[in-house]
Amino acid sequence: MSPSVNTLLLISLLAFPILNQGNRPVQKDPFEEKREHMVRRQIEARGVSDLAVLKAMRTVRRHLFVPPEVASKAYADHALPIGLGQTISQPYMVAYMTEVIRPTAQMKVLEIGTGSGYQAAVLAEIVREVYTIEIVPEHGVAAAARLKKLGYEQVQVKIGDGYQGWEEHAPYDAIVVTAGAETIPPPLLEQLKEGGRMVIPVGPAYRTQTLKLIEKKKGKLITKNLMPVIFVPFTRSGKN
């Protein structure tokens, strides 16, 4: 016996919400509006215009990268403490540093200073592979677990001193350093591909540093000073 029209209607009414639910994120993101506001007021308004970068900043749920007690401030216009004296950088700084390396889908990027994993996630929204090194084991372990849970399979986290870079996967199309270095680590320059770009804050610990962009062109290094910044210090294993 074929089912009556009423039965079919009932089945489709019942099935629809179930099927539909499967296509939607499980929970609505309560921070979506704040994130949109952050992108418009803090990032686009200050001149970041790379569409892929803006899309990544709109996509990555920054509140999941900060301790729960500061989640309500995750989209504010400043850096935030993430524990053990470290910080997650200001959203604008993350967007700006991502834009200056001119990220594309084919790129392999090295980040020094994983911290919360937020910058790595923003990069991973755009580029093919991200390798990131963190010197504080607690942060490295937590960030690796967070990135995995969020599905960022293309990010690999290593715990160690980023001064040496990550030779195994070199050369890199771009290198993003998110801790203030007193001098530029030579191994990072060596691991930068010909035509590659590195962005790095250089200067004394806890004082004003200069964000620098270094390009490797025909084997030569071309350095441009971008802006004054203050990042947490680039520490060394066995030193500090």
Q: How far is the CB of 142 from ligand SAH (least distance, A)?
A: 10
DSSP 114: -
Eight-class DSSP state of 213: E
Q: Is 179 in the site for ligand SAH (CB under 6 A)?
A: yes
Of the chain, the end-to-end C-alpha distance in Å amounts to 80
C-alpha of 46 from chain center: 19
- Told to judge if 89 belongs to the known catalytic residues of this protein, a careful annotator would answer yes
Structure tokens at 81: 């403490």
Q: How many CA atoms are closer than 13 Å to the CA of 95, on its beta-carbon side?
A: 31
Exactly one of 178, 202, 212, 214 binds ligand SAH (CB under 6 A); that residue is 178
| Interaction mask 78-107, ligand SAH, x per CB under 6 A | --------xxxx------------------
Residue ranges in 4-63 that form contacts with ligand SAH under rule CB under 6 A: none
CB within 8 A of 62, min separation 6: which ones? 31, 35, 38, 74, 75, 88, 91, 118
Give whichever of 54 and 121 is closer to ligand SAH, judged by the CB atom: 121
Residue 131 or 234: which CB sits closer to ligand SAH? 234
Instruction: Return the beta strands (E) in the chain as ranges.
Output: 80-83, 86-88, 108-112, 129-134, 155-159, 172-177, 192-202, 209-217, 220-229
Does residue 165 touch ligand SAH according to CB under 6 A? no
Q: Which is nearer to ligand SAH, 83 or 171 (CB)?
A: 83
Shortest Cβ 155–ligand SAH spacing (Å):
12
Q: How far is the CB of 97 from ligand SAH (least distance, A)?
A: 9
Give 24's contacts (C-beta < 8 A, 6+ positions apart): none
Tell me if 232 contacts ligand SAH by CB under 6 A.
yes
Q: 1: which residues sit within 8 A by CB, 6+ positions away?
A: none
Within residues 105-144, the interface with ligand SAH by CB under 6 A covers 112-113, 115-116, 118-119, 133-136, 139
Nearest to 101 by CA among 123, 120, 79: 123
Does position 235 interact with ligand SAH (CB under 6 A)? The reply is yes
Q: Shortest distance, CB of residue 146 to ligand SAH, whole angstroms? A: 10
The strand pair at 129-134 and 155-159 is best described as: parallel
Give 53 or 88: the residue with its C-beta nearer to ligand SAH.
Answer: 88
Active-site residue, from 4, 49, 72, 89: 89
Binding residues (CB under 6 A) for ligand SAH: these are 86-89, 112-113, 115-116, 118-119, 133-136, 139, 161-163, 178-179, 232, 234-236
- Catalytic residue positions? 89
